[in-house]
Structure 1
Amino acid sequence: MGQSTDDTWILENLDATRWLGIALVQRLPALSVLLLEGPLGAGKTSVVQGIATALGIREPITSPTYALAQHYPDGNPPLIHLDLYRLEQPSTANELFLQEEEEAQALGALMAVEWPDRLSLNLPEAWRLQLQHRAQGGRIAQFTSPSNDPKNSSTCI
């Protein structure tokens, strides 16, 4: 994994993408919400696999597209993984997100949310990871701190 600018990472393969998830856990405060943005196949679920590894979760992590939400209570902290891809109505996505966020708070869990563009909620406290395909292969990842962060700026890991 190579760094090209202060807030952007070049991920050459899926192993590097998973490694980024492992590294992100060290940066995310307790009870964080991480919004994973990017097109199909950009590596969002691979990042969550890395996060799960760092949290000590041993069960396989797959995209919860059909289940919408997966809970991994054995992590330290627990992990709630949402995939909002199939939810076309913002009100439905918002309702699921708010329900799962409440549960995450109660469990002390980290939340990873794929396809957050389905939400119509303003989430200034959320961290963001934008993933894009590169023409040369691999991916570009940009990690951004919450807009309510006192620094209010992009950060790198």
Structure 2
Amino acid sequence: MGNQFSPPPPPPQINTQVPLAQSSFSAAPSTVETPASAEASAGSSTTGGGAESEQSLAEEKRRRNTAASARFRVKKKQKSLNLERTVSDLTGRVDELEQEAADLRRENGWLKEIVMLKSRKNSGELFQDQAPSTDDGGEDEDGDTDKPEDKGEGSSKAT
């Protein structure tokens, strides 16, 4: 029994760098085992070369680990980018809502002021109706000059 078996060919070179723009990730390893490398790994395990097969197994394990680490880094980077995008979107939304709240507070203040002015005007008219008025055109509490033709029932200013 001579030297019938030749040493297995070197493992194929595999690029473990994954582009960062990759949007979907697969659970399967990114490397594809060719039939030649499958035969080489199967042949080395049956040849009885324990040290050689252990070395190739260690190399394969290291290669898979490197590929898994690269996939993990890409997923981590993608997750980080997604979180940053979410933070940016939510920050913009917070700014919009704060502006809307400020606008609503301002509008609420205006409406309260209008209600208070109408309330004062109505209470002033009630007092004028109760007390006899001899004023024909003087200033009222608004600072307006009333004319006799402006006075009457049901007249009100539109808002």
TM range, normalised to the smaller chain?
A: under 0.3
Higher strand share: 1
User: Which of the pair has more CA radius of gyration?
Assistant: 2
Higher helix share: 2
Structure number with the bigger relative contact order (C-alpha 8 A, sep ≥ 6) is 1
